[in-house]
């Protein structure tokens, strides 16, 4: 089970923290505002009031033991830079940081942040899915309940035809395309046999897509 510390519980940070928890991760959520922490307390593993600009606060929370830190503290470039440096010094292995604009993004990238996101360009749910599963290549949200997941072909599917797999009946999903790095086969026939290295585009509801991730 992966663990995350989410710093900053505005709309983006709180949404991301909830989504990660729903996907089975352990999440520590923190903010300097006690009202925001209280609102999220029942939806995450732990929620604490604290200032991440103070490295000793992060140290006391065991920040270095988390797999990933997400800095979502808003438009304050100075604050996000300081928190980033604190997390790097503590040895957090993977840092994701919210940026306000392209200038903010460039500064954070120069600091060596592993991933910078601008929420207007990347929905929190899509980020949560890509962070929580090592085998998810992409996620496209179609609605609140449905989406398209792009994943490497599960090992147990290799060598079998789509007819043999019968994923629509067994999992409630549809394989709408198959790619192998050279070409994309859209709407593959039932006789198509899954090959090692295939990348599948799978359509379904969130519960069914979660089951596919676990194969």
CATH of the domain at 34: 3.40.50.720
Average pLDDT over residues 175-197: 87
Task: Determine the structural domain holding residue 206 and report its residue range.
Answer: 138-213
Residues 173 and 128 in one domain: no
- Of the three residues 132, 154, 180, the one that is the final residue of a domain is 132
Q: How many residues does the chain have?
A: 215
Write the CATH number for 185: 3.30.70.1450
* Count of the separate structural domains present in the chain: 2
Average pLDDT over residues 29-55: 96
Residue 172 confidence (pLDDT): 93
Residues 106 and 190 in one domain: no
- Of the three residues 91, 117, 132, the one that is the final residue of a domain is 132
User: pLDDT higher for 85 or 118?
Assistant: 85
Q: Per mean pLDDT, which range of 7-21, 33-47, 170-184 is the poorest?
A: 170-184
At 71, the pLDDT band (50, 70, 90 cuts) reads: very high
């Amino acid at each position: 089970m992966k663990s995350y510390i989410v710093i900053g519980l505005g709309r983006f940070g709180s949404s991301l923290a909830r989504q990660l928890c729903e996907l089975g991760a352990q999440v520590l959520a923190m903010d300097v505002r006690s009202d925001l922490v209280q609102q999220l307390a029942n939806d995450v593993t732990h929620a604490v009031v604290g200032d991440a600009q103070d490295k000793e606060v992060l140290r006391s929370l065991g920040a270095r033991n988390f797999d990933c830190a997400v800095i979502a503290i808003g438009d304050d470039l100075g604050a996000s830079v300081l928190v980033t440096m604190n997390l790097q010094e503590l040895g957090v292995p993977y840092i994701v940081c919210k940026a306000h604009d392209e200038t903010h993004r460039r500064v954070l990238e120069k600091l060596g942040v592993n991933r910078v996101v601008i929420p207007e360009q990347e929905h929190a749910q899509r980020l949560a899915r890509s962070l929580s599963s090592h085998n998810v290549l992409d996620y496209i949200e179609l609605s609140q309940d449905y989406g398209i997941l792009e994943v490497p072909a599960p090992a147990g599917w290799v060598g079998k035809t789509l007819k043999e797999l019968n994923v629509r009946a067994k999992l409630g999903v549809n394989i709408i395309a198959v790619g192998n790095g050279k070409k994309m086969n859209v709407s593959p026939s039932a006789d198509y046999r899954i090959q090692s290295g295939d990348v599948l585009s799978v359509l379904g509801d969130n519960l069914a897509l979660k089951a596919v991730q676990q194969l």
